[in-house]
């Protein structure tokens, strides 16, 4: 006969309120779709607003949200402390929906860019609020499973919305922006008051800013070098004479799927090693995946994409675990904002990193693999020394 304690060990999320899990999943899915939902519509957007800089500006439409998320995320720590989680979630959801759907009515590409900038601010609000919600309401093993659920929701949500955006783009690029209205589904979940924040069971005292710096540095390096893959992969596969754009889409989908599965299993993986150790392991796995892409054989590329997906599927929840554990009290929201800035700044600067690596003489993926391996080894050695 199972006791209550044994049931909690086997099903760590069994007693978690549905509304909390729904907010974690919903907030994570929305942050993932900020860029992916309109990817398929970019050529049509460039054609609609044809001009001397139309191709560059259409790409800016895709990347500008990440820049504004990186810039505004730290500010939402103070917003949460002053106005609370519920109001911040509501602000983020409303701004997400209306800024996103504004693209349907744009009469110039500059209007699109303004709307996308506002969308990036909305993503900062949602991402920061989601992470603070996790840190305040989950502890111990339960928190690890929720962080894994968050990573899985981000990956699978991004896949689903990329597909939905592609289907809508077949009808009209303007209709693609309608998918952002899904942000309004967050609002009914805010009708119930949030439970009181749980006490810090695992540690007391001041925020461990050293651990936060360690985790955020690994997050920036790993994410920046990982995002070199989607930036450069289409050009790498173009070398294959029989490749098509569908090959690129499938390879990226395989990577995303592998990351989602790994995130869903993070609660199991976390039982095998500390988050600091997993940071180094994840970077080494990403490096192994990037090294396989350099062979320019599609089968090897797919294996490499699986490994890279597994690596980033460990990296994100491991970093979030460090942030949630090291930051306490009112400083948690500020720490979450800093981590979000590192993630989206890494994403925004990945094209620049790819450009620099292409001039290295080693090739983009080879150079990226070497740098990621070096960083992974350094973080793994530092983690193992801490255990001694």
Predicted local distance difference test score (pLDDT) of residue 202: 45
Residue 199 DSSP code: P
Contacts of 235 (CB under 8 A, 6+ apart): none
- Alpha-carbon distance of 85 to 136, in angstroms, equals 10
Q: What is the length of the chain?
A: 388
Q: Give the pLDDT confidence of 32-55 residue by residue, as tens digits.
A: 777 667 766 766 777 787 766 665
Q: Give the pLDDT confidence of 94-118 residue by residue, as tens digits.
A: 999 999 999 899 888 888 889 999 9
Six token digits for residue 191: 């009708």
- Alpha-carbon distance of 42 to 346, in angstroms, equals 22
CB burial string 263-292: b at 16+ within 10 A, e below:
bbbbbebbeebebbbbbbbbbbbbbbbbbb
Six token digits for residue 330: 């009112």
Per-residue pLDDT, averaged over 164-188, amounts to 85
- Alpha-carbon distance of 366 to 307, in angstroms, equals 15
Q: Give the pLDDT confidence of 338-362 residue by residue, as tens digits.
A: 888 888 888 888 888 888 888 877 7
- Alpha-carbon distance of 51 to 20, in angstroms, equals 47
Whether the Cβ atoms of residue 285 and residue 184 lie closer than 8 Å to each other: no
E-strand ranges in the chain read none
Six token digits for residue 10: 């086997």
pLDDT band at 256 (very low <50, low <70, confident <90, very high): confident
Predicted local distance difference test score (pLDDT) of residue 285: 95
- Alpha-carbon distance of 293 to 273, in angstroms, equals 28
Phi/psi-derived region of residue 112, left when phi > 0, alpha when psi is between -120 and 50, beta in every other case: alpha
Predicted local distance difference test score (pLDDT) of residue 306: 93
Please give the share of the chain, as a percent, with pLDDT higher than 70.
84
Cβ burial of 54 (10 Å; 0-12, 13-18, 19+) is middle
Predicted local distance difference test score (pLDDT) of residue 97: 94
For 221, other C-beta atoms within 10 Å of its C-beta total 22
Six token digits for residue 79: 């917003």
CA geometry: angle at 69 spanning 139 and 119, to 5°? Answer: 110
């Amino acid at each position: 006969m199972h006791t209550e304690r044994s049931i909690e060990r086997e099903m760590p999320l069994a007693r978690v309120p549905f509304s909390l899990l729904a907010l974690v999943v919903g907030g994570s899915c929305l942050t993932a779709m900020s860029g992916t939902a309109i990817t398929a519509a970019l050529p049509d957007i460039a054609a609609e607003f044809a001009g001397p800089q139309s191709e560059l500006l259409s790409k800016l439409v895709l990347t500008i949200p990440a820049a504004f998320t990186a810039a505004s995320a730290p500010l939402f720590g103070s917003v949460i402390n002053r106005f609370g989680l519920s109001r911040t979630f509501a602000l983020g959801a409303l701004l997400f929906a209306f800024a996103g759907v504004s693209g349907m009515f744009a009469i110039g590409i500059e209007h699109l860019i303004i709307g996308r900038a506002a969308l990036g601010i909305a993503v900062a609000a949602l991402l920061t609020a989601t992470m603070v919600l996790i840190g305040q309401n989950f502890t111990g093993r339960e928190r690890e499973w929720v962080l894994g659920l968050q990573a899985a929701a981000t990956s699978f949500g991004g896949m689903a919305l990329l597909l939905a955006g592609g289907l809508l783009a077949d009808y009209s690029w303007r209709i693609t922006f309608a998918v952002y209205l899904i942000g309004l589904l967050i609002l009914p979940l805010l009708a119930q008051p949030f439970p009181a924040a749980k006490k810090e069971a695992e540690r007391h005292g001041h925020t461990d800013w050293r651990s936060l710096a360690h985790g955020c540095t690994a997050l920036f390096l790993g994410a920046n070098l990982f995002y070199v893959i989607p930036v450069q992969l289409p050009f790498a596969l173009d070398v294959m004479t029989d490749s098509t754009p569908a090959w690129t889409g499938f390879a990226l989908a395989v990577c995303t799927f592998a990351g989602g599965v790994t995130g869903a299993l993070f609660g199991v993986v976390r039982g095998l090693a500390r988050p600091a150790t997993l940071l180094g392991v994840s970077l080494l796995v990403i490096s192994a995946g990037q090294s396989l892409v350099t062979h320019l054989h599609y089968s090897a590329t797919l294996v490499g994409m699986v490994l890279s997906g597994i690596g980033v599927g460990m990296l994100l929840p491991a970093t979030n675990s460090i942030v949630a554990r090291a930051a306490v009290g009112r400083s948690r929201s500020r720490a979450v904002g800093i981590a979000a800035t590192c993630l989206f700044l890494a994403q925004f600067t990945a094209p620049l990193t790819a450009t620099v690596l292409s001039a290295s003489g080693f090739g983009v993926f080879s150079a990226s693999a070497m740098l990621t391996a070096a960083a992974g080894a350094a973080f793994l050695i530092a983690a193992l020394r801490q255990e001694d």
